[in-house]
Chain A
Amino acid sequence: DAGVIQSPRHEVTEMGQEVTLRCKPISGHDYLFWYRQTMMRGLELLIYFNNNVPIDDSGMPEDRFSAKMPNASFSTLKIQPSEPRDSAVYFCASSRRGGPKLGYTFGSGTRLTVV
């Protein structure tokens, strides 16, 4: 079991550029969550999917953010255009049916820096 895999580990981009973060959940997990971590706000849930369908995107900060899950093994979080205030660590996590009782498995995160 390779765990939840996120790429890239680090991303530095200029303001205004498009950024795409990627996540591969654990095979067999049917829930996928995107979180953002900052010093000021802690861990914030951005969006989560069940069986590839977005269930709750109320945490997505604004229209510049979008997330997709085209299949059970891949999800993307896109920011377009990026702004310096988007700098944060973005985590993907997955769990399986009944899994919310069991907790999530987190990826190692993508550290995004927008300059």
Chain B
Amino acid sequence: AQSVAQPEDQVNVAEGNPLTVKCTYSVSGNPYLFWYVQYPNRGLQFLLKYITGDNLVKGSYGFEAEFNKSQTSFHLKKPSALVSDSALYFCAVRPSGAGSYQLTFGKGTKLSVIP
């Protein structure tokens, strides 16, 4: 069975500083990896994904994530944080093989960007 760990419940960062939200995963075979963001009282919004190819993936709002197969990690990063980035971030994984389409999500990391 696949699983996702987001080791930090909360990450605080000053506006303008780089941010990292950590994610590690466990899955049989090759993974498809995703990051979603949730603003208060809203549904989850897709940010970016890794399917294959370049390990550095760029997504919406200036976010990027780096796939590291040896460390089974997919950390979310942004060079310069904005106050508007404050939200709940979810990492998700599913195996790349056919027949298993459900995503397994981590518990989420609350990002607070301090002005």
* Chain A residues in the interface with B (C-beta under 8 A): 4, 31, 33, 35, 42-43, 45, 48, 50, 55-56, 91, 93, 95, 100-109
Contact = CB atoms under 8 A, between A and B. Distances in A.
Interface string B88-106: 0010001000000111111
Interface of B: 32, 34, 36, 41-46, 49, 51, 90, 94, 101-108
B106 A91 contact: no
A106 B43 contact: yes
For the complex, would chain A's binding face be called helix, strand, loop or mixed by DSSP majority?
strand
Given A42-B107, A100-B94, A101-B32, A50 B101 contact: yes
A49 to B, nearest CB: 11
B49 A107 contact: no
Contact of B42 (A45, A55, A108): A108
A104 B32 CA distance: 13
B106 A102 contact: no
A106 B45 contact: yes
Contact of A104 (B41, B51, B103): B103
Given A4-B43, A42-B108, A48 B90 contact: no
